[in-house]
Structure 1
Amino acid sequence: MQPTFWRSVALVLMVALLILSVGMVGVLAGHGAITSGPDVAVAPVQAASGLPQTYDAEETLLRTLYEENAPSVVHIRVVQSNTGQLPSLPSDPTVPQQAEGSGFVLDSRGNLVTNYHVVEGARKIEVRFFDGTVVRARYVGGDADADLAILQVSMDPARLKPVRIGDSDQVFVGQRAIAIGNPFGQEWTMTTGIVSAIGRTLPSGNSVYAIPEMIQTDAAINPGNSGGPLLNAQGEVIGVNTMIMSRSNSSAGVGFAVPSNILRLVAPTLIQQGRFVYPWLGVQGTELSLDLIEAMGLPGGTRGVMIVTVVPNSPAERAGLRGATRVAQVDGAQLPVGGDVVTAVDGTPVDSMGDVIVYLIKSKRPGDSMTLTVLRDGQVQMITVALGERPHDARP
């Protein structure tokens, strides 16, 4: 059974809440008292009066991080139109669907960050702050491809505590990672771990496009954590918690966050224009495996991306890029071969489609030109592409 990606937004149904409430009462009732037998003496716990409580460095750090950042985190509740797209939910569009997630204060103007999938299709948005304040929020803009959205609340700026945004390019494996959010509706829960991996490219779940440079962490992320911050030990936001890989729909120690530098890139435009426009090449590709290198007769050690398909009427097609031309049989499987092999973009070597996507997002805008170094029929060619505007229903 293959792992499944689950967005960490918590779906809240009234029946489920009732069942949960009954279950909680049962747990409390079953553990509410301890009775001593004839051979057991229960002694009262003595408090060490007059002695100061001491904490180790780890506890002090985490306490400080929580106290400084919890007031920046919000609990988001939404009422959405029911699309019937999720299993076990009624398909009647007249029945509203309630959901919840997390978010955080971006600036003193009342702009909040969350995941796009948390507020997609929301009819009504409610935001609860750490001090108990509850207000309505307005949807400002969203980026389905990066799974980011901006909300806005009308509040006194003095009552808002914006986060500090860190530099996700400086994140490293083994770095401390702290998540604050509302898993399963349990407000302002903090979990800790490390950065398990960086540079992951994963599907957004909202569109055909992938999110590059995602941060993987073993800090527990569960349904309801979506949109909350992933922090470093300095209390800076290094990512926006977005999804988990799990067979059980709950944390299995493999969570993912959108890197803070993508948030830095798209948030100002979302605030000003409501949407972010990406540059577009128009290809689907795959990194070179040993099987692919052997099937295409490429020199050993060749690294790059083979173009599998070229989207019709795309910048790539207009520039003359070529996709796979035939299918090879390898170990009983069909392997597309014969496409152009891209080894560099603007002189920067690439090993995967993730590398190409990262370069496009960070370095280019629609209308810019990009020169690809391509291996075709054993010859190196330089092909210049005039990039377009990414549509919603095509590929990078």
Structure 2
Amino acid sequence: MRAFSGKAFAVRLLALTFGLIAAGFVAGCTEQTPFRLATEALRAAPNTAAASAEPTRSPQSASRDLAETPLIDAAGLDFFERRIVRVYEEVAPAVVSITTRTLRRDFFFNVIPQEGAGSGFVIDREGHILTNYHVIQGVEFIEVNFGEQVVAPAVVVGADPRNDVAVLKVNVDPELLHPVTLGSSHDLRVGQWAIAIGNPFGQFGRTLTTGVISALDRTIEGPDNRTITGVIQTDAAINKGNSGGPLLDSSGRVIGITSAIFSPTGTSAGVGFAVPVDTLKRILPDLLAFGYYRRPWLGIRYAYNITPALAEALRLPTQQGLLLVQLYEGSPLALAGVRGAQRQQIIGGQRVFTGGDILTAVDGETVVSVSDLDNLLENNYRVDDVITLTILRDGRQFEVQVTLVEEPR
């Protein structure tokens, strides 16, 4: 028997180990290795009705198909490039260019037409198109360009300035309408792909840019100077003219509508924003049915945000919540017996209204400010929903159920 030194033995053992690994890898190439199955699953992930109509394949056949499909195809495209190409080919026909015109008069009453541009995308076979409200705000004439010299006039059928969303309607050949697939935005993660298609500067139709979701739950200012919450931030290039176009995931599903950019120069600086698709899906039925979004409403006219300092000054039983001052007559809160301020006090030279009920929670969700309550109702509830409010009155806590009604317009 041949003897080995410690060093020689280690070298032989290492060589044997690599040999076994290599043998296992070669054998695995003809079997269903986890890597190959995962890659094939990504490549075959359904995106459209056409994709989902493909016959179901077993893991074994999927593995064999992938083994026969090179990572680089005949055109020199790798797996990820092919995926982007597929998204563009499937979604781009749904993206339209929007041109607006407004007539203005100068100092001498001469009529001067002013044009604007934006993007939009088809959402159904009836000719409805989603875009941003600020694209069509205050305009007198709207045209939608489907490409290939096909242009049609459009009318506004619904708008929600607070979320910067509008729905247009065109009457065109249904063959021109290629609706998008609306995805979901509640489970998005920072770092996943983001793909934007739009018409930057109103000149470069159906331009695709790619990037990632760079942040979530941002807050931006809407056209009505109120905040839009839950906004998606992306570094996919977005410029003027992209407004109203779709932001997509890597399967081509809409995850948002591109709405704004942050830029000192007016061009893309790598910080773009999109209203999430879950917001679109929540307000879209009302926009189509009523022409506006029916906002859920409790009826608070005025309230104080309770802070530790205010709680100490007024000797309140809690350091957070809303101290109700004034309620609208006939509102859900008033009808439920909730009370506003009962008296006045002078504190630090200022008149303060006190003695009202304190609202601390909605369905167990803590409320710390009026804006917090507005956002909670806006993002989670609809008209006719029944909610449970937690109320403090004279140090005693109780609950009251109210039905949300439509906010007065």
Both structures adopt the same fold (TM-score exceeding 0.5)? yes
Cα distance between partner residues in 2 of 1:232 and 1:326: 56
Q: What letter corresponds to residue 193 of structure 1 in structure 2?
A: G
The answer (yes or no) to whether the contact 1:310–1:316 under 8 Å persists in 2 is: no
Cα distance between partner residues in 2 of 1:356 and 1:91: 49
How has the CA–CA distance of structure 1 residues 56 and 122 changed in structure 2, closer, same or farther, with 3 Å as cutoff? same
State the 1:340 CA deviation: 6.3
Q: What is the aligned counterpart of 2:84 among 44, 55, 62?
A: 62
Residue-by-residue CA offset, 1:235-278 (whole Å, 9 max, x unaligned): 10011111233443333333222221221122233223322211
Q: What is the aligned counterpart of 2:160 among 139, 143, 151?
A: 143
The answer (yes or no) to whether the contact 2:201–2:240 under 8 Å persists in 1 is: yes
| Higher fraction of helix | 2
The answer (yes or no) to whether the contact 1:73–1:130 under 8 Å persists in 2 is: no
The residue number in structure 2 matching 1:46 is: none
Q: What is the aligned counterpart of 1:77 among 85, 88, 99?
A: 99
How has the CA–CA distance of structure 1 residues 293 and 196 changed in structure 2, closer, same or farther, with 3 Å as cutoff? farther
Report the secondary structure of 2:162's partner residue: coil
Question: Within the alignment, does 1:195 sit opposite 2:213 as a pair?
Answer: yes
Cα distance between partner residues in 2 of 1:139 and 1:347: 39
The answer (yes or no) to whether the contact 1:71–1:131 under 8 Å persists in 2 is: no
Q: TM-score, normalised by structure 1?
A: 0.69
The answer (yes or no) to whether the contact 1:307–1:342 under 8 Å persists in 2 is: yes
The residue number in structure 1 matching 2:272 is: 255
Q: What is the aligned counterpart of 2:173 among 151, 156, 167?
A: 156
Report the secondary structure of 1:196's partner residue: strand
How has the CA–CA distance of structure 1 residues 383 and 115 changed in structure 2, closer, same or farther, with 3 Å as cutoff? same
Cα distance between partner residues in 1 of 2:266 and 2:310: 35
The answer (yes or no) to whether the contact 1:202–1:211 under 8 Å persists in 2 is: yes
State the 1:233 CA deviation: 0.9
Q: TM-score, normalised by structure 2?
A: 0.67
Q: What letter corresponds to residue 118 of structure 1 in structure 2?
A: V
Q: What is the aligned counterpart of 1:237 among 241, 248, 254?
A: 254
How has the CA–CA distance of structure 1 residues 68 and 132 changed in structure 2, closer, same or farther, with 3 Å as cutoff? farther
Q: Which shifted more, 361-370 or 169-178?
A: 361-370
State the 1:67 CA deviation: 1.7
How has the CA–CA distance of structure 1 residues 160 and 340 changed in structure 2, closer, same or farther, with 3 Å as cutoff? same
Identity over aligned pairs, percent: 42
Cα distance between partner residues in 2 of 1:152 and 1:262: 20
Tell me the matched-pair count: 329
Cα distance between partner residues in 2 of 1:327 and 1:67: 67
What aligned pairs does 1:297-308 form with structure 2 within 5 A after superposition? 305-306=321-322
What aligned pairs does 1:171-320 form with structure 2 within 5 A after superposition? 171-185=188-202, 186-206=204-224, 209-283=226-300, 305-306=321-322, 310=326, 312-313=328-329, 315-316=332-333, 319-320=337-338
Cα distance between partner residues in 1 of 2:324 and 2:213: 33
Q: What letter corresponds to residue 71 of structure 1 in structure 2?
A: P
The answer (yes or no) to whether the contact 2:156–2:169 under 8 Å persists in 1 is: yes
In angstroms, what is the RMSD of aligned CA positions? Answer: 3.8
How has the CA–CA distance of structure 1 residues 293 and 224 changed in structure 2, closer, same or farther, with 3 Å as cutoff? farther
Q: What is the aligned counterpart of 1:129 among 146, 164, 167?
A: 146
State the 1:139 CA deviation: 2.0
The answer (yes or no) to whether the contact 2:232–2:275 under 8 Å persists in 1 is: yes
The residue number in structure 2 matching 1:41 is: none
State the 1:79 CA deviation: 0.9
Residue-by-residue CA offset, 1:150-182 (whole Å, 9 max, x unaligned): 111122222211100001222222221111111
Cα distance between partner residues in 2 of 1:192 and 1:288: 44
Q: Which shifted more, 72-81 or 312-321?
A: 312-321
State the 1:77 CA deviation: 0.2
Question: Within the alignment, does 1:102 sit opposite 2:124 as a pair?
Answer: no
Structure 2 gap ranges (5+): 1-72
Report the secondary structure of 1:205's partner residue: coil
Question: Within the alignment, does 1:346 sit opposite 2:363 as a pair?
Answer: yes
Q: What letter corresponds to residue 229 of structure 2 in structure 1?
A: P
Cα distance between partner residues in 1 of 2:248 and 2:368: 29
Structure 1 gap ranges (5+): 1-50
